[in-house]
Amino acid sequence: MKKNQFGASTTTDEVLAGVNLQGKRILVTGVSAGLGIETARALAAHGATVIGAARDLKKAESATAGVRQAASAGGGAFELVSLDLANLKDVRRSADALLTKGEPLDVIIANAGVMATPFGHTADGFETQFGTNHLGHFVFVNKIAPLLRNGGRLVNLASSGHRFANVSLDDPGFEKTPYDPFVAYGRSKTANILFAVAFDARHRSRGIRAAAVHPGGIQTELGRHMDQSQFQTLIDTINKQLAAEGQGPFEFKTVPQGAATSVWAAVVASADEVGAKYCENCHVSEIVPDDRIITPISEGVRAYALDPRAAEALWKKSEELVGEKF
C-alpha cells in the first residue's frame, strides 16, 4: 500500500477495494446504529463472516437488513449476538456463550459506546460512560481473547474526545469531583486507547496487535444525549478556532468515511504499523504536546493516552473494579 493513499474523505469501500476477506471471522460491537452497521456491512461485503453484538437484538435485526444483503452478495456471512456492555453479568454471559461455541476470531472491533450522557450508573454501579465504554469492553474483550487467532487484531473505537481528560484512577465515579459529561467521555475514550496499549503488550508475542481509532466527526446516534444548543455551541467553538487558523468551516464526515479508519486498522494496515497506536483518517496519528491548544477536530493524540505505565495502572485498576484478573 502506498503511503498516504487514504485520508479523511476515504470510505470503507475505497479502503477495502480489491481486498478479499473470505475465511476471516470478525466480531463488531454496537451494530444497531451508525458506524457499527457500516463497519459490519463493508467487511461482510468483502467476504468476512461478521458477528455483530448489540444490546437490543430486535432493533439490531431490522437495522442490519442491509448487512445481510451485502453479506450474501459478497460471499460473507452475518450473525447477531446479544451484549449489554452496561451490565457485567450480561457481558460475561455473552462472552461465555462465544467461548462455548469456540469458533476462532481474526479481529475484534470494540465499536459500541455512549457519549456525554447525563450522570448515571451502569447495572454494576460504575459511572455510565466509563462503565459502558471501557469496563464493559475490558471484560468482554479479555474474556474472549483466547478465541483470537495468532496474528489477530483488536481495534478499540476511541475519539479525539480523549483530549478532554486523562483517566482518573482515584475518582473514576466522580465521587470527589463534580460530574461533567464531556470530562467523563474524555476519560472513557482515553481508557479505550490505554486498554489497546496494554492489550497489545500482553498479546504481541502471539502476533496479536491492538490499535485505537478515532472515526472523526460524524452525525450518528452517539450524540443523542446532547441538546441542540449544546451541539451548536460546540460547532460554533470549532468554527471560530478553524477561522483563527485560516481554515474553512467544519464539515461532518459521512458514516462510510467515519468507519473507514476502523476497517483500515483492522484488515488493511500492517500489524506493526498500527500496534499500540492511535489512528485517524486512515493513518497513525502524531503525538501532540499537552500544552498545544488544538481544535476538537484537529488531528493528534495526547501522550498520556499512549503511556505504557498509565496503561498498566489502568489495567490493574480495571481488574480491581470488575473483580476479575486477566
- Cβ proximity of 35 and 259 under 8 Å: yes
Q: How many CB atoms are located within 10 Å of the residue 182 CB?
A: 17
Residue 151 is placed in which grid cell? 496474528
Sign of the alpha-carbon torsion through 12, 109, 145, 287: positive
Q: If you search the block for the grid coordinates 500496534, which residue do you land on?
A: 275
Cα dihedral 150/204/187/7 (nearest 10): -80
Q: How far apart are CA 260 and CA 316, in angstroms?
A: 32
Catalytic residue among 179, 185, 278, 304: 185
Q: If you search the block for the grid coordinates 448489540, which residue do you land on?
A: 54
Element (H, E) at 276: none
CA 122 to chain centre: 19
Q: How far apart are CA 266 and CA 262, in angstroms?
A: 6
- Cβ proximity of 213 and 155 under 8 Å: yes
**185 a catalytic residue:** yes
Q: How far apart are CA 228 and CA 175, in angstroms?
A: 29
Strands 287-288 and 283-284, sheet pairing:
unpaired
> CA gyration radius for the chain?
18
Q: Which residues participate in catalysis according to the annotation?
A: 185
